[in-house]
Amino acid sequence: MAETEELLVVTYRGIFQEVEEALGIYSDSYREESAVLFLDGSDALGRKIEAGRPILLETSSGKVVVAAKISEEPHPGIAFMPRSPWSASLLPAEVGEGGLLQLKRFRARASPAGEAVTTIEEIGERIRVF
């Protein structure tokens, strides 16, 4: 079943996210620039994910809710996400053969979420408390 297949999430940096990061990571605008996932149209359709709606992303490292966006160009099986505390919540902690962490990409399950987009305060709390 296509909709249960994991997506390969690749992270990147965008200028407006970096701008909002400098202007304060606890702001709504930083969250709006960071807590997003760009999906391929067919991947979104197969998972009943709608543009602008919250989606739950899960890996063995953790889970977060971000806002779904649909890319103009097709990239089936791959999703793009700004590198941020949200993407770091999902990164694997195991090192590769070269002894380095893979901080650029990971596999994640994506599905429509019933809850709101995770806030940075929640991410911070999860790290400090659990």
Partner 1 sequence: MAFCTGCSLLCDDIEAEFEGGKVKRTMNLCRKGRAHYDSLSIDRLTPAVGGSEVRGEEAVTAAGELLAGAECPLLLGFGRSTLEAQKLGIELAKKLGSVIDDPTSRQGLIMERILKGEVPTCTFDDVRNYADVSIYWGDDPSSSHPRHLSRFSYFPRGEKRQRGYEEDREAIVIDVRRSPTATIAADGFFQVSPGGDAAFAEALLAALGGKIPKVEDKKRMLNLATKLRKAKFGAIFTGPGLADAQDGDLGWFFSLVARLNEFTRFSVIPSLPDYNTRGLHQSLFDVAGAVSPVSFEDGIASGPKFGVTGLLESFDAVLVVGSDPVANLPAPLARKLARIPMVAVGTHRNLTTDAASVTVPTAMAGLEAGGSALRSDGVRVDLEAQVKSDRPTDLQIVEMLMEVV
List of residues contacting partner 1 (CB under 8 A)? 8, 10, 12-16, 18-20, 22-26, 61-62, 73, 75, 78, 80, 83-85, 88-93, 95-105, 120, 123-124, 126-128, 130
Smallest gap from Cβ 92 to partner 1, in A, equals 6
Nearest to partner 1 of 55, 79 (CB atom): 79
What residues does 78 pair with on adjacent strands? 8
* Helices marked H in 27-130: 28-34, 41-46, 85-88, 120-129
Nearest to partner 1 of 52, 102 (CB atom): 102
Smallest gap from Cβ 73 to partner 1, in A, equals 6
Nearest to partner 1 of 53, 104 (CB atom): 104
Smallest gap from Cβ 47 to partner 1, in A, equals 20
22-28-30 Cα angle (round to 5): 35
Nearest to partner 1 of 45, 88 (CB atom): 88
Nearest to 64 by CA among 104, 25, 117: 117
At position 90, the amino acid (one-letter code) is: L
Smallest gap from Cβ 113 to partner 1, in A, equals 18
81-95-6 Cα angle (round to 5): 40
Rounded to whole angstroms, the Cα distance separating 17 from 46 reads 29
